[in-house]
Amino acid sequence: MSINLYQTGVSGLLSSQQHLGTTGHNIANVNTEGYTRQRAEQNAAVGNYNGGNYVGSGTYVQDITRIYDQFSYKEQLLNKSNLGGAASINLDLNQLNQTMSLSGKAIGASVDNFYQAMNGIADKPDDIGLRNIAISQAGVLSNNFSKISNSLDQIEKSTNGEIEKIADKISQISRELAKMNEEILQTRGTNLTGQPNDLLDKRDQLVTELGEYTSVNTIQDSNGVMTVMIGNGATLVAGITALTVGVVSGDPDPMQTKLRLVGPASTVALEGSKVGGALAAKFEFRDEHVTKARSDLDRLAMAISQTLNQAQSQGLDLNEKQGRNIFTDINTPALESARSLPSSKNSPGLQTSVTINDVSLVPSNEFTIKHNGTDFIMTNELNGEKTTLVAAPPLSGIYPTNYGFDFKVNVGTPVAEDSFTIRPTENSAALMKVELTDPKNIAASSAIEVEADDNNVSSGSVSIVNVTDPELARSYTDVTNANLTVDVYENPLTPGIFDYRVYDAANPPPAPTLANGSFAAGASATIDMPPAATPPAFQIKVGGLPTGQGTLAREKFTISDAFASGNASNATLLAATQEQQVIGGGKQNFSQALATATSEVGSNASSAELVASTAQALFTQAFNRNQSTSGVNLDEEAANMLKFQQAYQASSQIISVANTIFDTLLSVAR
């Protein structure tokens, strides 16, 4: 009996010792990140049958287990991924917002300064000093667009670098997880009953770290080996086999790098926007927010260049020549080719481009054009709308669209699956340069003007529109037709219908009619001049209610040469373009478009900050819930230490009693 009592005391002593060791281990790791509280699972030993009864034989520790709640840990891991993504895009959008705010103010100020100079020229068109100021301010404006384009380039390169670093970190964690699986498998092979708790903690900590960069799902087999999947289910770790994440150049845009999941024998594509965590946030920031900001600014630069160039071309400079481009032509070969990005898989030798014909219709989003073997199918990436493009004229290789641009096949014959990414505004800010260097070349003067006859009494009007060749227009009204006249009268047989004719009043009567026609009250008529020219040098617009006094009284208007160094009509037209609504379908002027672009980034940054705060709160709640179960509570562990210490001392006393009994029995035997 004393021997059994001795064994019982020893078993209690050893069990208390393991309890104390486990409690001490918990206390020692109270500040260890990822540590899960452990507990010794104690059971009673099977009793010995003696005298018709089962006499207890002590106790033993069956296992040292982790106090692990799978569901609270999964919740914490999910919120960790959400927080990683939200915090990343919040940080990036704040940087983009600062860039756009500062650059937006600079561009807005330079636009105002340029137009202030143009208004000065409108007041004093022959002042060379004011003209020099205007050219200087145009240079400041183009430089500001170039600077913000460079800033966005740097942001994009920086984001690509961060994507590559995150991919490397994920690959490193993958290899460590595979090694950890191998260690756990080896441990289980030598001991099928115990759990390598600290190894399991380290593995879970690696998974938690991985969860910051990407969304993670795990499956554990009966041997404790874990399979780790990221994103939409792509396997990153399969047992002791680690796969890695690599970064490759984008296609068709090399700067839009993409992800590849690299295995021992093959690689597969990973969709960056769907991997979750901070990595997906980087792709969202680069491919959506930075791309949208860049496209909005490119569109603004394009609209400013085209609008001012077009207004400049309608006037005459101090050398009596047609106004040259102030800024780079928006349809230079370099810009046209940059707007169409071909896939690397396209048939060789195929060259395409995009020509802008109406900046007011050009959107800021991308398009994809793909050949199906018969036709080009264009997909609007903003809404998924598909359009079949038709060449006009047929077989010309020019494919008009409803978005203010034409897609052109310059060289080669397309085949099925050839595809192109279309960015209608590409590089407009980066390549915006001032081409006007001589202040005399600012076309402040109009070429021709309309003067109403002194006898006109009605509300009828004639105006000059769309001057495409002011030198020819001036020659046509000053040389070819010395007294170009438009007269309008109401048809006596059809009231409300107005007949007009254009003729040279300097010719002896009857003056030959150059153009004639009619229009209804409330409408207008646009007349090409010269009538046979293609395209015309200018157009005349006749409208209003040109009804004179008396039967068949005619309202007359004379069109004549208007050039003079003091003529500021075209300078006034140039200055007026500041308020012209030419962006977004003719709904926004330059200032409004710039304000929209910057405020959109600011709004996104504000929303991202709110989302990040919410994600942080949710993660904190999930972490606290998990810690309430799995974390170390020092008060609880201190109480356990006292309890197990007392149990240890009591077991020692049992051994002491057993020794006394044993010694007594030995004494009797002597």
Q: Which residue has the tokens 């200087």?
A: 136
Query: Which among 67, 89, 109 is the end of a domain?
Result: 67
pLDDT at 256: 95
Is 386 a domain residue?
yes
Please check whether residue 642 lies inside any domain of the structure: no
Residues 367 and 454 in one domain: no
Burial of 519 (0-12, 13-18, 19+ CB in 10 A): middle
Asked if residues 555 and 545 have their Cβ atoms less than 8 Å apart, the reply is no
* Boundary residue ending a domain (40, 67, 94): 67
The token pair that represents 277 in the structure block = 């965590």
Asked whether residue 478 falls in the same domain as residue 554, the answer is: yes
Long-range contacts of 147-153 (CB under 8 A, 24+ apart): 147/103, 147/106, 148/99, 148/100, 148/103, 148/106, 148/107, 148/297, 148/429, 149/294, 149/297, 149/298, 149/429, 149/430, 150/430, 151/99, 151/103, 152/99, 152/290, 152/293, 152/294, 152/297, 153/430
Residue 382 forms part of a structural domain: yes
In a domain, 374, yes or no: yes
Rounded distance, CA 376 to CA 139, Å?
A: 40
Task: Please give the model's pTM, rounded to 2 decimal places.
Answer: 0.89
What is the per-residue pLDDT for 495? 86
Cα dihedral 164, 166, 169, 173, rounded to 10, equals: -130
Stretches in the chain below the pLDDT threshold 70: 1-3, 188-193, 549-552, 670
What does the block give as tokens for 559?
């069109």
pLDDT at 2: 47
Between CA 477 and CA 528 the distance in angstroms is 13
Domain that residue 45 falls in = 1-67
- Could you tell me if 409 and 373 lie in one domain? yes
The verdict on 392 and 471 lying in the same domain is: no
Closest by CA to 179, choosing from 100, 116, 240, 268, is 240
Residues 484 and 387 grouped into a single domain: no
Please indicate, yes or no, if residue 540 is contained in any of the structural domains.
yes
What tokens were used for 133? 């100021």
Asked if the structure places residue 35 within a domain, the reply is yes
- Do 414 and 462 lie in a common domain? no
Q: Other CB atoms closer than 10 Å to residue 478's CB: what's the count? A: 18
516 and 552 housed in the same domain = yes
Residue 325 lies in a domain: no
pLDDT at 193: 66
The total of structural domains in the chain comes to 3
- What is the distance between the alpha carbons of residues 59 and 47, in angstroms, rounded to a whole number? 10
pLDDT score at 190: 54
**End of a domain among 405, 422, 439?**
422
What pLDDT shows up at residue 158?
97
Does residue 204 belong to any structural domain of this protein?
no
Residue 412 sits in the same domain as residue 471: no
